A and B are shown apart, each in its own frame.
Chain A
Amino acid sequence: MHEVDREVAFEIRGALAPIANGLEILRLSASDDSASENVIDMMQRQMDRLIDLLNTRGSADGCRLASTELPDDVPHQTYS
């Protein structure tokens, strides 16, 4: 990925972080209002489009990282 693209991708990811949080907060605190639900779903879809774009573009240069990638188990041996 070109250096400028990389910087733009970094900034877009940073801006999407509070938007993703905000959508979840709205979901958890919104009343049962179908209009609000539809708008929240719409915003989520559009945000997912942007994330897909970032992940797909990155993959061409071998730097894709799924934001959902999880290890098999959370390291917890220090807590037991």
Chain B
Amino acid sequence: MSFVLESNVSAPKKELPPLRVLVVEDEPDTASSTAILLGLWGHDARIAEDGEAALVAVKEDCPDVVLLDMGLPGIGGWQIVSALKDCSEAKKPLVIAITGHAGATARKRSQEAGVDLHLAKPVEPETLRDVLGRLRTVIGG
């Protein structure tokens, strides 16, 4: 009985605010399925289908996280990472490169561009969920 009482009075789990995630990806199926998953995990996802749209989105409002396809045609991942440097220090997004280039060279390029985390496609959803979950705790906790 006391157990029931205790569980009744325990503080409700704090609801953490969703992360605002910008998905920069030109392949429509990958972009939309990523956005759906992010939504199912409780985050706010926005898609930029090319580098130009990404730059516009970042200018409007710096997101908490950018999932960045480094192999975009036109304005590439590198330039987008550069643009993120204009975000104020407190709002600097976590940049996660998601790329089909799985090699050490691609990884080095990402690192040089200022990417925080480099993941090879296909990313295990669990991995992404955990990284975002940890970040959510840091920002909202």
| A74-B134 CB under 8 A given contacts A13-B102, A54-B102, A64-B102 | yes
Question: Contact: B40 with A29, CB < 8 Å?
Answer: yes
In which size bucket is the chain B interface? Answer: 35 or more
A75 to chain B, nearest CB (A): 5
Residues of B contacting A78 with CB < 8 Å?
Answer: 89-90, 92
Which residues does A use to contact B, with CB under 8 Å?
6, 9-11, 13-14, 16-25, 28-29, 47, 51, 54-55, 58, 62-71, 73-76, 78-80
Set B92, B94, B121: member contacting A14, Cβ < 8 A: B121
Chain B 117-134 against A: per-residue CB contact (8 Å), 1 yes, 0 no?
Answer: 111111111110011001
Main secondary structure on A side of the interface with B: helix
**B residues with CB within 8 A of A:** 27, 29-30, 32-34, 36-37, 40, 89-90, 92, 94, 98, 100-107, 116-127, 130-131, 134-135, 138-139
Task: Quote the shortest CB–CB distance from B6 to chain A (angstroms).
Answer: 31
A57 to chain B, nearest CB (A): 10
